[in-house]
């Protein structure tokens, strides 16, 4: 049934169109691919050693498969080993009506790096580093730029509403890898976008007025005063004793900002 669904085609405005492209990642059928591809590890020759009640590790000399829906990364010990694994999986996929996308299938050395699910996995000398891929960084920069262009003419509150979910989601996805430099670069990119938005919104205002109006110490975890925000709606933080937020020495006081001597 799953194989038939993969090749079922679609009816658009009463006209039938056959299925010619593969299933997109995150499509409605993606969860079923987990069922359709069950047994792939055994077919590739992956063998495990049980190390605990619910823990296993790959045997020495065994390939390692990492799969998310229909995206697959196979870690092998040599190019010949990788070619053998690919040949096994090609034979295993054929009766299921599936084939590799040769345009997206490559055999590369780990020292050259490989992109997988938005991450770049690469070995540098004796260290394996996982970073946001260049393609992923390019996409988020382009998306933020497009959003800011669409927000011209809107107020600062709308900018925050539109940008914050994008930034938080992207940061949460990549925060567990080596991403500090990328985060700093994107922080600078967002600052330039918001500064450009502010100058476009107020073409007759000077630099000092724009900085005073839209930039300041709007977040207690930041030690600089270059955080973009809306002074009309932003919470006021002070360094005076009071009801403290968990984990910070700052109190969220509903009064003008104060500075202790």
18-22, 77-81, 172-176, 203-207 — which is least confidently predicted?
18-22
Query: Which of 121-124's residues contact partners 24+ apart within 8 Å by CB, and which partners?
Result: 121/73
| CA neighbor of 176 nearest in space, from 132, 128, 209, 206 | 132
Position 2 scores a pLDDT of 65
Is the separation of the CB atoms in 81 and 63 below 8 Å?
yes
* Domain limits, the chain: 1-107, 134-228
Q: Tell me how far apart the alpha carbons of residues 37 and 3 are, in angstroms, rounded to a whole number.
A: 11
In the predicted structure, residue 255 carries a pLDDT above the cut 50: no
User: In whole numbers, what is the pLDDT of the chain averaged over residues?
Assistant: 82
pLDDT, one tens digit per residue, over 162-172 is 999 999 999 99
β-bridge mates for residue 237, sequence order? 252
Dihedral of alpha carbons 19, 20, 23, 24, sign: negative
Looking at per-residue confidence, does 25 or 180 come out higher? 180
Position 151 scores a pLDDT of 93
Q: Tell me how far apart the alpha carbons of residues 232 and 212 are, in angstroms, rounded to a whole number.
A: 12
Tokens of 86: 């690919």
Tokens of 194: 């918001």
Dihedral of alpha carbons 57, 60, 65, 66, sign: positive
Is the separation of the CB atoms in 85 and 44 below 8 Å?
yes
Position 69 scores a pLDDT of 75
- Can you tell me the mean pLDDT for 120-144? 94
Position 37 scores a pLDDT of 81
Model's pTM, two decimal places? 0.74
In the predicted structure, residue 128 carries a pLDDT above the cut 80: yes
């Amino acid at each position: 049934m799953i194989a038939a669904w993969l090749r079922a085609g679609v009816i658009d405005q009463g006209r039938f169109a056959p299925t010619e492209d593969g299933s997109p990642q995150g499509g409605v059928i993606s969860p079923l691919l987990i069922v359709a591809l069950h047994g792939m590890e055994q077919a590739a020759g992956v063998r495990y050693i049980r190390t605990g009640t619910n823990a296993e590790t790959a045997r020495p000399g065994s390939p390692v498969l990492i799969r998310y829906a229909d995206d697959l990364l196979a870690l092998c010990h040599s190019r010949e080993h990788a070619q053998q694994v690919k040949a096994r999986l090609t034979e295993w996929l054929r009766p299921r009506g599936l084939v590799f996308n040769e345009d997206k299938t490559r055999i590369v050395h780990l020292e050259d790096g490989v992109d997988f699910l938005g991450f770049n996995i690469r070995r540098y000398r004796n260290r394996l580093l996982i970073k946001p891929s260049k393609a992923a960084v390019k996409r988020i920069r382009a998306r933020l730029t497009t959003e800011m262009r669409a927000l011209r003419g809107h107020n600062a509150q709308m900018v925050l509403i539109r940008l914050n979910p994008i930034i938080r989601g992207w940061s949460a996805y990549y925060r567990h890898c080596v991403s500090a430099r990328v985060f700093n670069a994107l922080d600078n990119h967002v600052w330039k976008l918001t500064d450009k938005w502010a100058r476009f919104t107020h073409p007759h205002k000077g630099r000092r007025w724009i900085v005073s109006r839209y930039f300041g110490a709007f977040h207690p975890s930041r030690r600089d005063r270059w955080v973009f925000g809306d002074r009309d709606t932003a919470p006021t933080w002070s360094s005076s004793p009071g009801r403290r937020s968990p984990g910070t020495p700052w109190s969220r006081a509903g009064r003008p900002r104060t500075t202790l001597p």
